[in-house]
Amino acid sequence: MKDNKVFGVMQRVGRSFMLPIAILPVAGLFLGIGGSFTNATMLEAYGLTKAIGPGTAVHMVLSVMNAAGSIVFANLPIIFAIGVAIGMAKAEKATAALAGAIAFFVMHASLSAVIMNHGGPENLIAGATTDVLGITSLQMGVFGGIIVGLGVAALHNRYYKIELPQVLSFFGGTRFVPIISSVVYLAVGILMFFVWPPVQSAINTVGDLVRGSGYPGTWLYGFMERALIPFGLHHVFYLPFWQTSVGGSMEVAGKMIEGAQNIFFAQLADPNTVRFSSEATRFMSGKFPLMIFGLPGAALAMYQMARPEKRKIVGGLLISAALTSMLTGITEPLEFTFLFVAPFLYVIHSVLAGLAYMLMHVFEVGVGMTFSGGFIDMFLFGILQGNAKTNWVWIVFVGIGYFVAYYFIFSFIIRKWDLKTPGREADDEETKLYTRADMNKKTDAPAAAGGLSSEDQQSRQIIQGLGGKKNIVDVDNCITRLRITVTDGSLVNDDILKASGAAGIVKSGNGIQVIYGPRVSVIKSHLEEYMERAGDDLDMATPIAAAPTEKAEEQKKSENTAQENHQEITIYAPLCGQAIPLSEVPDPAFSAEILGKGMAIKPKEGLVKSPVEGTVELMFETGHAVALKTAEGAEVLIHVGMDTVQLKGKGFETLAKAGDYVKPGDDLIRFDMELIEKEGYQTVTPIVITNSDNYAGIEEVAKGEVQFGDVLYRLN
């Protein structure tokens, strides 16, 4: 279980890298075109000096493109700090982004101050410092950004809902995240002065070992990069080679550059570059024979092996997938198709991938890439730069051999073992290419049959009850219910939602409210995390558990076995106003007693006091509702107004917090009645017992006007 948790975290870390990595193709496009066509040597070689040389409007545009591309690669550390923080944050991602940027500046500023207090850069080894956004700091590269992004995300996920004492309440919640991040990374900056140099030395040692490994090391890199794709861990693997000294260090245009990709793009931006370093591009060039030639050969083999009557359908699918691989280097439809039907084919593919990287290293091919390794990258960073700089023609020579090898290897294996590649499946099966979602669904099937945790099982049922993941537009919650917007309300299945533990369902067109009680915020968090992991095709057709989830069963069992109280529990009026029965409340969740029995008050004063002696179980962060629990076990919910969660805390002030022990008459919430009514919301306030099924009933006492402390009703 622990290994699975670590694996899951590593997958999330890998996915978080994708946001900053995704900008690189655009930045590379700007730099590739702008840098190439502003290079005097290239302009002379192609006879373009007069047409687009210095002084022309085109040259000015190209210079701007070159600068726009260069600035992205020059500032990858802060881009990773912000991007990783966003990717790892569970909610309120904008706050995480701001905190990531602030923490990055604070860490490097404090680190710079320590450097200056220890004699300045002159007292450190050569190349140890660099300029980071105008700050003299240690050469940490994207590792500095990743350290900030991961740390800030951890702080954010822990503290973004924090409640501070009343005097400091303004700084609570999401506002606290940038504050705590600044404090922590001030300390981290100081610590890094002492910690980072030995870490950097260790990284450099690893880099020396990698460079010393020669061609076998390059083969191993290529094999591992492909082999980790099914697990979603390849980004974690290749990023250190591309962005840190593990992938090499080189002085370019008077600056020490670390990381294979950074070296290539620094050389691309340098007009004095005569030849691109194949020692850097050894970690990139191997993709080109695979993407442009090898996988299209596999696609042709699958087409030829398809049954004649299905070739027309298969041909359209495979041509589209092959062209995508060739042009952009995006290979998922092809790779996951043969991974799905025959995993050992993927092993062969990974071995050949390692060989492709090694051959590119042997032939000193110096073609870099932004992200994927398709023809677009090959044209911009290989053909356009000229063979003298890149040796790009070897990609074609090796690639032709790869096309032939993939075609014959795949044809032989498919025929020999009768693999059910597209077009060879049974007549009643759909002809399709497979994706990562299909693979995840296949590997998760045993868990779905009974190995899911109780939280995941409940989340799965909720998704299915709402008509599938694709039918869900938005998920929110108030203190007792999930509030979901769906695409098609007719797909919502009440029985499945009730099986998940819901007390009731309220529908209004495509707006769905699923009532779970005070635990709903926890249920929502589990649901959002499960939706992130679940495949897009999770729908009502997927088998579901017939019984309520383990958590719901435990809760029900707990309720049924609760101590039977023969003494009366008195619920006092928590507000001044007019007492009314729940049936007059304009919300079916309350009027139909779905949330429990009780009464309501139309308030005349914007103050809520405790109606019982007990503990504050939950104070909703928007301040519009509070849940209490008495010593006898009665669970009391006070909900100020109708749908006031939409105000997001505007007009509400919390006067107590979760865990506080309160007595009748203690202040809980202050609210602005005039503001709430001006915003168009009613202030009628239900006071209900959410576990009223445990009791014989309630005796309504109050009628008409009530004051604080008057008996509202008694629980029998």
Residue-by-residue DSSP string for 372-439: S-SHHHHIIIIITT-HHHH-THHHHHHHHHHHHHHHHHHHHHHHHTT---TTSS-TTS------HHHH
Q: What does the alpha-carbon distance between residue 81 and residue 102 come to, in Å, rounded to a whole number?
A: 10
**Closest to 298 in 3D by CA, of 268, 328, 325:** 325
126, 62: one domain: no
Average pLDDT over residues 660-672: 94
pLDDT tens digits for range 325-340: 898 887 877 887 777 7
pLDDT class for 672, splitting at 50, 70, 90? very high
CATH number (domain holding residue 585): 2.70.70.10
Tell me the backbone φ, ψ of residue 173, rounded to 5 degrees: 60, -140
- Domain membership flag for residue 467: yes
Q: Are residues 89 and 183 in the same domain?
A: yes
Section 646-665 average pLDDT:
91
114 and 21 together in one domain: no
Tens digit of pLDDT for each residue in 74-106?
898 999 999 999 988 987 889 999 999 999 999
Task: Give the domain-ending residue among 52, 74, 96.
Answer: 74
Whether 308 is in a domain gets the answer no
- How many domains are contained in the chain? 4
Instruction: Indicate the residue among 22, 57, 74 that finishes a domain.
Output: 74
Which residues are part of the catalytic machinery? Answer: 478, 639
The rounded percent of the chain whose pLDDT value lies above 70 is: 89
Residue in the block written with tokens 């202030």: 683
Shared domain for 46 and 82, answered yes or no, is: no
- Is residue 2 in a domain? yes
Is the domain of 190 the same as that of 169? Answer: yes
Average pLDDT, the chain: 85
The answer to whether residues 486 and 546 belong to one domain is: yes
Q: Determine the residue type at 354.
A: G
Domain end (from 179, 197, 215): 197
pLDDT, tens only, 267-301: 988 888 999 999 999 999 999 999 999 999 999 99
* pLDDT band at 29; cut points 50, 70, 90: confident
Residue 391 lies in a domain: no
pLDDT recorded at residue 194: 94
Query: Residue 446 maps to which CATH number?
Result: 3.30.1360.60
Please check whether residues 707 and 593 belong to one and the same domain.
yes
Which amino acid, residue 220? L
Of residues 649 and 25, more confidently modeled = 649
Residues 6 and 107 in one domain: no
Domain extent for 180: 77-197
Regarding whether 524 and 458 lie in a shared domain, the answer is yes
| Torsions phi, psi for 473 (to 5 deg) | -95, -45
Distance, CA of 175 to CA of 161 (rounded, Å): 9
Do residues 576 and 601 both lie within one domain? Answer: yes
377 assigned to some structural domain: no
Same domain, 508 and 596: no
- The secondary structure of 309-362 as a DSSP string is GGHHHHHHHHHHHHHHHHHH---HHHHHHHHHH-HHHHHHHHHHHHHHHHHHHH
The pTM assigned to this predicted structure is 0.60
Burial class (CB in 10 A: 0-12, 13-18, 19+), 653: middle
Regarding beta strands 607-609 and 667-671, do their DSSP bridges make them parallel or antiparallel, or are they unpaired?
A: antiparallel
Q: Is residue 388 a part of any domain in this protein?
A: no
pLDDT of residue 204: 79
My answer on whether 613 and 585 are in the same domain is yes
Looking at the domain assignment, is residue 398 inside a domain? no
Which pLDDT score, from 0 to 100, does residue 535 have?
57
Confirm whether 704 is domain-assigned: yes
Per-residue pLDDT reduced to its tens digit, 303-321: 999 888 888 888 888 898 8
